[in-house]
Structure 1
Amino acid sequence: MIVIADGGSTKTNWCLINEAGRKILFNTEGYNPYFSNTEYIVGSLKVGLPDHLETEKLTEVYYYGAGCSTDTNKKIVADAMQQIFPNAEINIGHDLLASCRALLGDEEGFAAILGTGTNTCLYDGKDISLNIDSLGYFLGDEGSGCYIGKRILADYMKGYMPKGLREAFYDNFALTNEDIFDNIYNKPLPNRFCASFSKFLYDFKDSYEEYTFNTVSYAFSAFFENLVIHYPNYKDYKLNVIGSVGYSFRDILSVVADKYEMGIGKIIRSPIDDLVDYHLRTSKMTK
């Protein structure tokens, strides 16, 4: 049996392929090794994995994760996976490579992640050929759910948010300014906390179209200005995007991309289906 996982900072999508070739989908929380250590990941998986999953029978694990771009971070995740799946061969890759395979297959092109965080690259059909570091939620991640969420929180705290939306925000979350500061500066996973509010904006986008457009287009314009336009000949590529934020606000993303003279390619929420197909073609289990 093999399992393929697409791990973001907020959620991980898993697909188990059993001996009969049946696909079994399930989710756990996300694990970014910049914020979660091995012990945390092991504890979370013990609680989050399905009870029926026979972890000792797995032979291959392919985990693509946010933050898995360095050997140190890959080891944090690999050590956790080895504890949970003791008899499996563990393979850890970056979520950006998973996005490239899902969006472009064997074709070269431009790929981006717009989810809790942001990432971008040029892909040569086999591997990532150029990546401009998005610098994470503290220094960058323009266009991400966290970036949008920080803008929403700032507008709420400063009183800039439209009155009705501000009231809806308090009705939904009952957060004071002190609560928000505590979550950002004192509690774990502040990036996930900030990113969660992008969904709130999506839920109210039809009622507050102007505020939604201004907030999200500001974030996507920053995404282009700080990342996309710095790739050589970027206008020659289509904008291919994976992630809940890019997918949910794809209409606004298309408007901003047009402003920067970049065509829209494939925009999907998750790469897991395409990754499963890829590994079914290449897995030892199917040979």
Structure 2
Amino acid sequence: MIVIADGGSTKTNWCLINEAGRKIYFNTEGYNPYFSKEEYIVKSLNETLPDHLEREKLTGVYYYGAGCSTEANVKIVADAMKQVFTNAEIYVGHDLLAACRALLGDQPGFAAILGTGTNTCLYDGKEITLNIDSLGYFLGDEGSGSFIGKRILSDYMKGYMPKGLREIFFDNYALTNEDIFENIYNKPLPNRFCAGFSKFLYDYKDQYEDYVFSNVEYAFTAFFDNLVTHYPNYKDHQLNCIGSVGYSFRDILSIVADRYEMGVGKIVRSPIDDLVHYHLEIAGK
């Protein structure tokens, strides 16, 4: 039995493939090693993995995760996985490689992640050949949920949000400015905190269409200006994208991509199904 996982900063999607070839899906929280350390990952997995998962029978764990882009971060996650899946061979890779394999398989092209965070790359059908660092939650991540969420929180705190929407926001979250500062500066996982408010925009996009459009368009324009357009010959590629933000606002993403003369390819919320297909049908060729 093997298990394949795609781990974002907020949520991890897992697929167990048992001896009969049956696929069993389940979720846990996300484990970005920039924010979640080994002890936390072990504790969370032990508490949230489904009871029916026979860990001792697993022969392989293929985990692709946000933040798993350095040897040190890969080690944090791999060491945690070894404590939980004691009999399995452990592979830990970057979630950007998972995006490439899910979106492009063994074909070359451009791949992006637009979820809690942002990432982009060129892929040659086997490996990532060029990656412009998005610089993470504090310095970049343009187009991501955390990027959008920070702007929404700023508008709310400064009083720039439309009055009716601001009242709805307070009714939903009952946050004071002090609460927001506490979550951003003193509590763990501030990126996840901020990213959650991108869903608030999505939920009210029909009632406050102009406000939602202007904020999401701003985020995606920054995504193109600061990342996409810096890839050589970017117009020769299609925009292939994975992530809840890119998928939820794919209509706006397509408008912005067209403005930059870039065609739109595959846009999906989660790569797990295509990633399973890659491991079962392509990787063994």
TM-score with structure 1 length normalisation? 0.98
Q: What aligned pairs does 1:1-287 form with structure 2 within 5 A after superposition?
A: 1-281=1-281
d(CA) in 1 for partners of 2:55, 2:280: 19
Give the number of equivalent residue pairs.
285
Q: Deviations over 1:196-233 (max 9, x none)?
A: 00001000000000000000000000000100000001
Structure 1 unmatched runs, 5+: none
In the alignment, the residues of structure 2 paired with residue 107 and residue 60 of structure 1 have an alpha-carbon distance, to the nearest angstrom, of 25
Tell me how far apart the structure 1 counterparts of residues 21 and 236 of structure 2 sit (CA, whole Å): 40
List 4+ stretches of structure 1 deviating above 3 A: 281-284
Following the alignment from structure 2 to structure 1, what is the Cα–Cα distance between the partners of residues 225 and 267? Answer: 20
Q: Aligned partners of 1:116 and 1:18: how far apart in 2?
A: 30
Whether the 8 Å CA contact 2:122–2:130 is kept in 1: the answer is yes
Give the Cα separation in 2 of the matches to 1:104 and 1:129: 14
Aligned counterparts of 1:221 and 1:282: Cα–Cα separation in 2: 35
Deviations 1:233-286 (A, max 9, x none): 1011100000000000000001111111111111000110011112223689xx
CA contact (8 A) 2:113 2:243 kept: yes
**How many Å separate the matches in 2 of 1:17 and 1:136?**
33
Q: Distance in 1 between matches of 2:282 and 2:83?
A: 25
SS of 1:196's partner is helix
SS state at 1:222 partner = helix
Q: Secondary structure at the match of 1:113?
A: strand
Secondary structure at the counterpart of residue 34 of structure 1: coil
What TM-score do the two structures reach when normalised by structure 2? 0.98
Percent sequence identity over matched residues? 82
Secondary structure of 2:98's counterpart equals helix
Within 2, Cα distance between the matches of 1:232 and 1:220? Answer: 19
What residue ranges of structure 2 are gaps of 5+ in the alignment? none
CA distance in 1, matches of 2:134, 2:264: 21
- Residues in 1 aligned to 2:209 and 2:34: alpha-carbon distance in whole angstroms: 35
Q: Distance in 2 between matches of 1:220 and 1:261?
A: 14
Root mean square deviation, CA, Å: 1.1
Separation in 2, partners of 1:171, 1:162: 14
The whole-number CA distance in structure 2 between the counterparts of 1:234 and 1:198 is: 27
